[in-house]
Chains A and B, each alone.
Chain A
């Protein structure tokens, strides 16, 4: 971590936010940690340079490689026909009933369990997607512990095992950039479901599930480490894979891979993130 000092990119009027307890250590230089408007805890804003490694050269930020497509062909159909293979679509926004398989049963059981607790289905679940034989519930983040507890305890659901949490960063999905994905397994019924929760970059807080599924302890630490999602209520949300004093959250899309060019027999091979790619 002995590279050139980072130049703060924050605008001058932005105030210096106080650090969240588990946040990365601010640099000695004027730390670009803008307090996100509307965030209670003034957590380290993921927009800030705090997410970038200290060793990142300025010139690489200034000159990102913008080379896509083959042989400079831009916007025209590829003569090989390969361009027609492109299936660039977001998965179904919401699946209509019936979902098929055991999915309807699970959704009904969840609705019943929530109703018994005085919570409407749509108050807790944003939408449901049944895609490729897998069922995903998009849970409103404030309802996550409640919904997870229902999944664990309701006799018709009984998802005893949580396979941990996996983060995904969608920078272009404004307002819901950070996703936490939980995979639940019911040994009783031999079923799987997926819960997905999203949080905006400006307020990266998601309630912790450690009280419901203790196995999520390390998984949430890993997701905090890699994505900067703060799991409220976690007993000790500290870095787990990266060193304790690491800056930034490496799995985020705005965090560069940090590859270095490799020289082989006189030819320089650029690092993977600067090589030509086609998508």
Chain B
């Protein structure tokens, strides 16, 4: 065997080593992508593991007394021994509940009452300091089947609260929607118009190149600096209301503009010239060609880019913190001039809270936010695949 190898004039004694090196190199590249993907899996798994319990909340079935006395001092509505385990927020809302259902007045009802967050966390298996007396009570009730985990409606119907078991995501969701509407109303037309101008109308001169370079640079400016712009220009200079979706939306619009412009330009460029020339040949003006022929053909591509920009803006936090959108917002905002918070900013606030119950809510909010983002991105990809025209 050895002799035959030596007879080969191309025999390279280092060949085995070289192949080993090539293999090792391939292994390295493979392991790096495996690492990246497994991080993603671990990370998503971690969030689901931490966030899933937040969709359940512990309730206890006890008798609640509705009378004048319990309306005046809501603590009186329940038996003394339960006062330390049920939620303050639930008791606080008793008058509101009676107002909604006047027939409750002067009755005694067996009701599912919200437990406080210490007991709730304890029941979910986390270490929490609960007094031995109360613990015994809960365990006894549990044995009777009078303590159970129910779907956490509060998370979707309430705003933020200083009482963990009473805090929800709703005001942040509405705040996000308002902010993103402002953003899209500003950024979409501006972005598409800029793209149309650059692709269809602009002459190739210094001015155009300046805009192009500028858009590329704009895309690379750290997002927090847009917050400084929002603070100095929109709030301090123009006097727009601080923390409002209006300022947030405008700031995000300027930040998202480059994404929309770049993708819209790519979409316009992919429309073949023959379409334009056919239009001119039939005597159409430039505006007519762009408006009736080029834009409709480029529209799916423009939409794809805008949705990706929207998803990007939805997850952005840093500039919004600077313009004050991390205020404590218990009530759902109803207009773009009111103080509001957005989903990622709410997550940031919750993540800074010391109570364990907020950790679980943060993770649940993250699950919600990421599913929306992935859905948006998947929808964008679907649009692109479905309407992609091969010329």
Q: Do A and B bind each other?
A: no
Q: Chain B residues in contact with chain A, CB under 8 A?
A: none
